[in-house]
């Protein structure tokens, strides 16, 4: 598959759709206009890649809806060189958005099939996360903590404590919390022990799974 002018045109339209739904950040909208989402998906979905919808990516997982990606990224309030931990690499599309916004990205995926696929794909397209990790995001990534931001792209039945602990003061955790449906939740760390919590609309994610071993 290639990236063509036709795809670019569809991306511009998608950015307009997201603006109409309330996405305001110019940086985030530019990322949507720039990143070839169709290349992160199976070729059989190419014609639909710029609809504001989630699609299967294998291993029972999905590439998140563009609105959700944009909404979560806005909540992170990224600044250049922010150190960001992403839980749930999936297709790598959200990772690419974070990289385009000049974050230093550590991304964790627990499905080996997806981890291997994105590792090859990132190299091919020139996306360079600081580290792609095969492992359990419930534990975060203590080796590189603390982070300016942590973004969870799977539905968490409850907020994993290690993720709260791995935030800098002023750092932000963006996490969909809930079982069948999730409330998008933002935690901002105020001090060693205090967090400000804000809740946004409801979303539907595939579940954040805990490794039993």
User: Minimum Å distance from CB 147 to ligand SAH?
Assistant: 15
Relative to beta strand 104-109, strand 131-134 is: parallel
Token digits of residue 171: 């750092």
Residue 150 sits in the site that holds ligand SAH (CB under 6 A): no
Active site residue 25: no
Residue 61 sits in the site that holds ligand SAH (CB under 6 A): yes
User: Minimum Å distance from CB 210 to ligand SAH?
Assistant: 6
Residues contacting ligand SAH: total by CB under 6 A: 23
Distance CA 83, CA 39 (A): 26
Nearest alpha-carbon partner for 1 in 32, 61, 33, 41 = 41
Choose, from 43, 44, 64, 119, the residue flagged as catalytic. 64
* HSE-up (13 A, CA, CB side) for residue 28: 21
Residue 166 sits in the site that holds ligand SAH (CB under 6 A): no
Residue 185 sits in the site that holds ligand SAH (CB under 6 A): no
* HSE-up (13 A, CA, CB side) for residue 4: 5
Q: What is the DSSP string of 157-171?
A: SS--HHHHHTEEEEE
Nearest alpha-carbon partner for 130 in 115, 160, 108, 110 = 108
Contact segment (CB under 6 A) with ligand SAH among 98-106, 131-139, 140-148, 179-187 equals 131-139
Q: Which is nearer to ligand SAH, 111 or 166 (CB)?
A: 111
Q: Which of 83, 136, 171, 176 binds ligand SAH (CB under 6 A)?
A: 136
Residue 101 sits in the site that holds ligand SAH (CB under 6 A): no
User: Minimum Å distance from CB 62 to ligand SAH?
Assistant: 5
Q: What is the DSSP string of 98-142?
A: HHHTT-EEEEEE--HHHHHHHHHHHHHHT---SEEEES-GGG--G
**Interacting residues with ligand SAH (CB under 6 A):** 61-64, 87-88, 90-91, 93-94, 108-111, 114, 136-138, 153-154, 206, 208-209
Q: So which residues are the catalytic ones?
A: 64
């Amino acid at each position: 598959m290639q990236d063509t002018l036709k795809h670019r045109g569809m991306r511009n339209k998608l950015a307009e759709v997201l603006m109409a739904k309330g996405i305001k950040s110019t940086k985030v909208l530019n990322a949507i206009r720039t990143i070839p989402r169709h290349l992160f998906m199976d070729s059989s979905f190419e014609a639909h890649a710029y609809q504001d919808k989630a699609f299967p990516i294998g291993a029972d997982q999905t590439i998140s809806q563009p609105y959700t990606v944009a909404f979560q990224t806005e909540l992170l309030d990224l600044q250049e060189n922010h150190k960001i931990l992403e839980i749930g690499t999936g297709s790598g599309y959200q990772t690419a958005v974070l990289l385009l916004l000049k974050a230093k990205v550590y991304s964790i995926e627990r499905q080996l099939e997806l981890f291997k696929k994105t590792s090859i794909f990132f190299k091919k397209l020139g996306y360079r996360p600081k580290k792609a990790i095969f492992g359990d995001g419930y534990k975060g990534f203590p080796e590189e903590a603390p982070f300016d931001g942590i973004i969870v792209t799977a539905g968490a039945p409850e907020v994993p404590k290690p993720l709260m602990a791995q935030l800098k003061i002023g750092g932000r955790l963006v996490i969909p919390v809930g079982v069948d449906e999730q409330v998008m939740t933002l935690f901002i760390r105020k001090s060693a022990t205090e967090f400000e919590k804000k809740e946004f609309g409801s979303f539907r994610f595939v579940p954040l799974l805990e490794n039993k071993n």
